Amino acid sequence: MTTRILPTDEPDTFKAAVAEAARLLNAGDVVALPTETVYGLAANALNATAVAKIFEAKERPSFDPLIVHLPHRKDLRDVAEVPEDIAKVIDDLTHKFWPGPLTIILPKKPAVPDLVTAGMNTVAVRVSADPVFMRVCRTVEKPLAAPSANRFGSISPTSALAVKAELDGRIPLILDSGASSHGVESTIIKVEPGSPKPIISILRPGPITPDDLKPFGTVKHAFKKKDKDDSAPLEAPGTLASHYAPRTPLRLLSKPEDFTPEPGKRYALLSYRGEPDDGYLELADWVGIHILSPGKGKIIECATRLFYAMRELDKLGADEIVAEPVSEQGVGMAVMDRLRRASAKC
């Protein structure tokens, strides 16, 4: 199979690319599409045969559910039940954050195939804010299942070329709209009734932060790390203990004094700010260094650059990548979550 990349940066190329993506999706195929978080591998979420092609291309285990992306906010009840006791907070959350990088776990409707939900009675749903994804989804007029467009467990792609490096020859088409704006996957939440406020459990941290969610309920952190060999269904996508990992072993180093380089080993550094005072730059004769946010350590910039930097360091042939921790304020919580999962097998 030849994998084509179509640009979307001009009105004519945008229109042609959307039309071709919609044609393939309506024919039951898969297409890699940009989202505001990372690039996703999309298929008609209501077509189990099409969804199976996602699992095949990604080599994704069937116990890992998919996120269903809706054409419009109003389409929520086509795929999910909204229990009466949380209906108001769901309405408030979707008004505030959709389109956008917030995924909500809700009871599923029978129309959603069991393959999408790993056999569970819940479905993960959101509405993407990316203009290309949104136009494709609304052209198809169907919900799209779209996990990250990479081999299962590896680094999520934030560009069309990163998708091609992962899935070349496995999928027919990639739409290219440049770099993803957020750079880490959506925040996933579950909402339950509570008193005096609803309980919002964060199952996977992402661009929508606990502070963003606090006006809507009592926020709890419920990050779960599930072992890869445990084949029971995951409650939320992307929550295996080992995930988002480069081929090169990655070590998350809490403090520089914990590191002693081994003779003969080649190391690369994923640096937070690239500041000598942080104590990491002089620890080894690094074969390469990537800095997430030079100087000021801006957390949003860290998130945007994280997967790109990990992918670039992975190309160097080092024996190990050493990663500095970042501040866990705001979206930094999501960055540290991805780094912990990427380092789980080291």
- Domain identity same for 33 and 140: yes
165, burial (CB in 10 Å: exposed 0-12, middle 13-18, buried 19+): middle
- CATH code for the domain in which residue 314 is found: 3.40.50.11030
Model pLDDT, residue 240? 78
* Averaged confidence pLDDT in the chain: 95
Q: How far apart are the first and last CA of the chain?
A: 34
Q: Are residues 157 and 276 located together in one domain of the fold?
A: no
Answer whether residue 52 is part of any domain: yes
pLDDT digit string, tens, across residues 109-130 = 999 999 999 999 999 999 999 9
What does the block give as tokens for 333? Answer: 């919580």
What does the pLDDT look like over 49-67, one tens digit per residue? 999 999 999 999 999 999 9
How many domains is the chain built from? Answer: 2
Query: pLDDT band for position 298 (50/70/90)?
Result: very high
Look at phi and psi of residue 261 and say left if phi exceeds 0, alpha if psi is from -120 to 50, else beta: beta
Query: Is residue 93 very low, low, confident or very high in pLDDT (cuts 50, 70, 90)?
Result: very high
Residue 269: inside a domain: yes
Report if residue 46 sits inside a domain.
yes
Q: Decide if pLDDT at 229 tops 70.
A: no
| Enclosing domain of residue 312 | 250-342
Contacts of 262 (CB under 8 A, 6+ apart): none
Q: Is residue 318 part of a domain?
A: yes
Where a domain ends, among 142, 176, 210?
A: 176
Task: Select from 176, 211, 228 the last residue of a domain.
Answer: 176
- Name the percent of the chain lying above pLDDT 70: 97
Q: Mind listing the pLDDT tens digit for each residue in 9-38?
A: 999 999 999 999 999 999 999 999 999 999
DSSP character string of 35-102: -SSS-EEEEETT-HHHHHHHHHHHT--TTS--EEEPSSGGGHHHHB---GGGHHHHHHHHHHHSSSSE
Q: What are 170-190's pLDDT values in tens digits?
A: 999 999 999 999 999 999 999
Name the nearest CA neighbour of 345 among 275, 248, 254. Answer: 248
Question: CA-CA distance, 231 to 63, in Å (whole number)?
Answer: 6
Is the residue at 16 inside a domain?
Answer: yes
135 domain residue, yes or no: yes
Looking only at the bridges linking them, the beta strands covering 288-291 and 267-271 are parallel
Is 327 domain-assigned? Answer: yes
Q: Are residues 304 and 168 in the same domain?
A: no
- At which of 125, 145, 176 does a domain end? 176
Q: Which residues, in sequence order, are bridge partners of residue 108?
A: 80
Has residue 182 been placed in a domain? no
